[in-house]
Amino acid sequence: MGEKITLSGVPETMLQTIYARAKESRTRGAIHDEKAEAIIGGLDYDFSLAEKDAAMHDGVIARTIVLDRLTADWLAKAPGAVVVNIACGLDTRCYRMNGYAHWYNLDLPETIEVRKKLLPEDGAISQIAMSAMDDWGGAVAEKDTPALVIIEGLTMYLCEADVKRIFDVIARRFGKVTVFVEIMNPAMAKHFKEKSIEGSRAKFTWGIKNGKALSGIPEHFSGKLLEVPVGTGVLTMPVYRTMPEADITCLDYSPDMMKQAEEKADRMGLKNVTFRQGDVGALPYEDGTFDIVLSLNGFHAFPDKEAAYREVFRVLGLGGTFCGCFYVQGEHKRTDWFIRHVY
């Protein structure tokens, strides 16, 4: 008989996600997570809903792949950094990464109690038993060290005030920090259902209509921003009207797309946006040129995604922000139509 685990609500979702990683690791192998496999093999828990929930499985694996790559690339540029993994659950990313000085796994006390049993950690990996909304900054010992905060699988269960509170804690604790945060569109939060997550009585409650609301683009931003690919500019040109002091560069491989985006910018009278044709796999910019790199629904079209990730993080300055969302063809008919006819 395995370890009996009793949880409910949002904390219970960590069992569904680690099951998805373990299943992927032992079957298709898009990720390799031996610790997840070992944990699931030793648990006494009914995973029948998670076994049938393909939407939850694919979402967990997609974000695991993306955040693993983002984190590994960031740590390669900032060796000796400190990482804070908010709402860690039974996440095992700290065992797949190299180069950090200290990794903090933070979650609710009841969750950390379970984690201590299944993943006892010490030394360079610490556990913080606090709510993400509490003032946990004092539990991070390092000073004046490059810092990365990861927020995965949490914000969609909160309200906007709670999300802002988390970012207030981060801002008070770190003078300069990079944040990787998973967010959900409000339409998805309202209508999208994951059977295994609903079974735990956790519900999606919050999302963001556009990247500006929580993308890391500050109000009155006046730094350098690269958007790649810009596409037709239908999503971003209206946002750039609110950023007259920013130095914005829009790059795309397609001349036709670029022309449509330029026409939109001209009609809006945007004087601070320049356009350049180019390849995301070989960006024509020096290292650390930009404060923000923005990519909306673009990575699905890049033939060499590894090169695209490398180039994006090469031209992004240390402590800069990478904002992105990804289109998956066939997942939603409305999104497919939008991509074909509008974007």
Most confident of 48-57, 88-97, 259-268: 88-97
pLDDT at res. 343:
46
d(CA 53, CA 77) in angstroms, rounded, equals 37
What is the residue range of 321's domain? 218-343
Residues 166 and 243 reside in one and the same domain? no
CATH code of residue 261 = 3.40.50.150
The pair phi, psi for residue 203, each rounded to 5°, is: -130, 145
**Structure confidence at residue 251 as a pLDDT band (50, 70, 90):** very high
Mean pLDDT score of the chain: 84
**pLDDT over 80 (residue 330):** no
**Structure confidence at residue 53 as a pLDDT band (50, 70, 90):** confident
Give this prediction's pTM.
Answer: 0.62
Residues 311 and 171 reside in one and the same domain? no
Mean pLDDT of 103-107: 98
pLDDT at res. 2:
59
Residues 343 and 293 reside in one and the same domain? yes
Count of structural domains, the chain: 2
Residues 248 and 135 reside in one and the same domain? no
8 A C-beta contact, residue 156 and residue 204: yes
pLDDT at res. 38:
95
Residues 327 and 306 reside in one and the same domain? yes
Residue 204's identity, in one-letter code, is: F
The pair phi, psi for residue 185, each rounded to 5°, is: -65, 140
8 A C-beta contact, residue 3 and residue 44: yes
Cα atoms found within 13 Å of the Cα of residue 61, Cβ hemisphere only: 21
Mean pLDDT of 305-321: 90
Residues 74 and 192 reside in one and the same domain? yes
Mean pLDDT of 123-139: 96
> pLDDT (tens digit, 9 = 90+) per residue, 207-244?
666 554 445 576 678 999 999 999 888 778 877 887 89
Mean pLDDT of 160-165: 87
**pLDDT over 60 (residue 196):** no
pLDDT at res. 220:
78
Mean pLDDT of 24-44: 92
Residues 160 and 202 reside in one and the same domain? yes
pLDDT at res. 187:
56
**Structure confidence at residue 200 as a pLDDT band (50, 70, 90):** very low
Residue 221's region, left for phi above 0, alpha for psi from -120 to 50, else beta, is beta
